[in-house]
Structure formats: C-alpha cells, structure tokens
Amino acid sequence: MAATAGELRHKIELQVRSLVDDGYGNEIAGPFETQATVHAKFHYLRGGEEVFAGRLAGKQPAIVTVRSIVATRALTTSWRILTTDGEAWNIRSITDPDGRRAWLEILAEKGVAT
C-alpha cells in the first residue's frame, strides 16, 4: 500500500548506534545517533493473535512507510526510529512493497527494549 505525499504526516529520525572505543582498544556499541530525518506514514496494526498478545505486553506494532531515498535504503534492523514525541521504535523488517524502489515499508515495534 503506497502512500501519497500528503499522508507523510509524521517527522521521524532514523538512528543507528555509533561504535566507541572502550579504552582498551575494543569497539563497543555507543549511543544512538541520528543519520537522517524524514517524513513518514504510520499504519498501526490491529488484528491477529500476535498483535493482541503484544499489546498485553505493552508493545505496539506498526507499518511505517517512507520514501525510498539514499538515507532510507541504508536502513537495517539494527537501526531504530525516534518520533517527535520521543518514542523509540525498533525496526523488525524492511520491504519494498511494489519492487519499484519508490517506497519502503518498515515493520516497527514500540514498547520493547532498545
């Protein structure tokens, strides 16, 4: 389900953990750093047993649609989404819904440890 430009109502930050030196010559995961800010459409998932079980555990899954640009094509499941209200969303999967490289759909989940 492709989005239109008018449906991209949410501004989100795409973040990835930086690698930092632990003082002993080892690189470890550091804080999240914003790599890009883009507009997105959120479609909250509703049905299904897994969705209901997640809600009971305080999790909220959603499909986040963004334009396929250089910054969004770099996304992996190790990144996260940060919304303007400060909510962090873990990225579970990323797909190109129609194969045309115009849009990306990100299955994201809020309410889980990052």
For residue 19, the model assigns a pLDDT of: 87
Residue 10: Cβ within 10 Å count: 16
For residue 113, the model assigns a pLDDT of: 59
For residue 64, the model assigns a pLDDT of: 97
CA gyration radius, the chain:
15
Chain-centre distance of CA 21, in angstroms? 26
How does pLDDT run along the chain (114 residues), one tens digit per residue? 568 888 999 999 999 999 888 889 898 888 999 999 999 999 998 866 666 665 556 788 999 999 999 999 999 999 999 999 999 999 999 999 999 999 999 999 998 755
Contact 3, 24 (CB under 8 A): no
Question: CA 26 to CA 39: how far, in whole Å?
Answer: 36
Contact 76, 93 (CB under 8 A): no
Residues 6+ apart with CB under 8 A from 75: 14, 91, 94, 104, 106
Residue for token digits 């003082």? 23
Structural domains of the chain ordered from first start: 7-110 (2.40.10.270)
